[in-house]
Amino acid sequence: MLACAVVPLYAGTPATPLAEASTRQILQTSPLAGFQHYAGRALFPLMREGDPLTLHREPDNPHDPRAVRVEWHGAQIGYAPRADNVDLARLMDRGAAVAARILHLQKSRDPWKRVMMEVYVAE
């Protein structure tokens, strides 16, 4: 089971989504898998750190029965990495309210380094 920690996120400037002061239970931080195979390349210039991501379970996925699809504004941009999705899928299957956001963006030739996401228990 993933270790959950309560991590306070403190306000910087009120204009950015990252600036909301709150306490969240962080489940994991991980890179986005499959970014190069979906809409990620075209959407990358529009993405911002702190943007919300939507998670969808895909139990019938032929490549991974624990697959968790990641979307940005309704467009698929990849998946939670297979190595990191065991506990996330289990929580989602049990009905836990989980959410995600873009933690870090990096222009890189390596697609595994472009988007770092943070998955947390939704409030």
Residue 3 in any domain: the answer is: no
Can you tell me the distance from the alpha carbon of 79 to that of 97, in angstroms, rounded to the nearest whole number? 18
Residue 55 lies in a domain: yes
- Rounded to two decimals, the pTM is 0.77
pLDDT digits (tens, 9 = 90+) for 8-26: 333 333 444 544 435 678 9
90, part of any domain: yes
Range of the domain at 70: 29-121
**7 belongs to a structural domain:** no
C-beta separation of 17 from 100 below 8 A: no
For position 57, which CATH number holds? 3.30.70.2330
Per-residue pLDDT band at 3 (split at 50, 70, 90): very low
Q: How many domains, in total, are found in the chain?
A: 1
| Residues 71/51, Cβ–Cβ less than 8 Å | no
